[in-house]
Amino acid sequence: MFDDVSGRYDLLNQVMTMGQDSAWREAMWRRVPRSARRVLDLCTGSGVSLPGLRTPGRTVLGMDVSLAMLQFAQMQQASAGWSPRLACADGFKLPLRDGALDAVTVAFGIRNLRPRREALQEIARVLVPGGRLVVLEASAPSPGPLAPFARLWIRHMIPLFGRLSPDPTAYRYLSESIFEFGSGPEFEADLAAAGFRRLEARAFLFGATRLWVAETRPAVGQIPTETPGTVHDATSASGEKAQGGVISGGFGLESSVWALVRAGMSTAVVAALVWALTVWLNVRDRLPLSPVQHVLAWLLIVGGLVVFGARAALQLLRWDALRGGGPGTR
């Protein structure tokens, strides 16, 4: 199934998430400790998560069960001047020794690994004691006033976008599997049963996407990196400030503040256009304008409201994805 959609996979993800999946991946990257020297991106797909995991002295490996996806990943990264380490492997039988990795990331892939608990046990096997697991996954939206709209988007819009793909059934499966995955409690139970401690859980886009950070049980005498549900400030050996034991890596406060500033600027434009629309409705009949000029005025004001309203909404979503490094909402 995934072999058939490899060519348009990333583009459709950008469209379906309104461009927010990049910010969510940045949030995932920030939660991989800078000290992690051996990192696996499981279910790597087209390899879009791999560049953000690269740091000096770190070995990054991408694994996926789809050979076509891996070939596409190799081609994409080669065009960027990098040849990543990739392997075609079953997520239930990872070709790695026990304790081979310091961290594992899974972006929009854990939902496809069933039975999920067995997959998590295999991930725990290849992690060192106290190793980090960071999972980013689409999920059923949280209850709330906007939940019906999010559910409508997942249930109907995603399959509609899937018609642009060579295999529309893959996107019908995507929609169905999101609701099968649920909103998180079942996954957290599987994490605990597989030997992980949950350190953090965050919800993005009204709960339609969630981020989990967990770690395997530390070895005897090893100090846990964090207490579940709390975050401690830490400073790396190089003096970089970290939150929750994770170095910000350049995507922290400055990026989130700038996203908020841009959202504020777009909102100010929207407010000005609303005022202009009010004035226009009051004076349009008294202005010596031709029918064409009336239409152009309508297009200018209403079009501006749509464009800048959308920009403000997207920047607020980006700010929500980028802000802070601490524990998020359940």
Residue 328 lies in a domain: no
What is the structure's pLDDT at 225?
Answer: 55
pLDDT digits (tens, 9 = 90+) for 20-57: 888 899 999 999 999 999 999 999 999 999 999 999 99
111 and 153: one domain? yes
Residue 126 lies in a domain: yes
Inform me whether the pLDDT recorded for 19 exceeds 70.
yes
Inform me whether the pLDDT recorded for 244 exceeds 70.
no
pLDDT digits (tens, 9 = 90+) for 176-191: 999 999 999 999 999 9
182 and 272: one domain? no
pLDDT digits (tens, 9 = 90+) for 64-108: 999 999 998 999 888 778 888 999 999 999 999 999 999 999 999
State phi, psi for 173 to the nearest 5 degrees: -60, -40
265 and 224: one domain? no
281 and 137: one domain? no
| Better-predicted residue by pLDDT, 126 or 244 | 126
259 and 208: one domain? no
User: In the 8-state DSSP scheme, what is residue 155?
Assistant: I
Residue with tokens 């709209």: 149
The residue among 197, 217, 248 that closes a domain is 248
Residue 2, helix vs strand vs coil: coil
16 and 70: one domain? yes
Residue 240 lies in a domain: yes
What CA–CA distance (Å, rounded) separates 110 from 177? 11
226 and 152: one domain? yes
149 and 268: one domain? no
CATH number of the domain that residue 83 is part of: 3.40.50.150
Tell me the percentage of the chain whose pLDDT exceeds 90. Answer: 43
What is the structure's pLDDT at 323?
Answer: 59
What CA–CA distance (Å, rounded) separates 30 from 123? 20
| Domain range for 223 | 3-248
Residue 306 lies in a domain: yes
The whole-number average pLDDT for the span 215-232 is: 59
227 and 136: one domain? yes
Beta carbons within 8 Å of 248's beta carbon, 6+ residues apart: 30, 240, 241, 242, 325
| Better-predicted residue by pLDDT, 216 or 7 | 216
pLDDT digits (tens, 9 = 90+) for 259-309: 677 777 778 877 877 887 887 788 777 777 788 877 887 887 888 788 777
Where does the pLDDT of residue 326 fall: very low under 50, low under 70, confident under 90, or very high at 90 and above? very low
Residue 330 lies in a domain: no
The residue among 229, 248, 267 that closes a domain is 248
Give how many domains the chain has, as a whole number.
Answer: 2
DSSP string, 243-282: ETTEE-TT-SHHHHHHHHHHHHHHHHHHHHHHHHHHHHHH
291 and 143: one domain? no
170 and 221: one domain? yes
What is the structure's pLDDT at 255?
Answer: 59
285 and 219: one domain? no
Residue 102, helix vs strand vs coil: strand
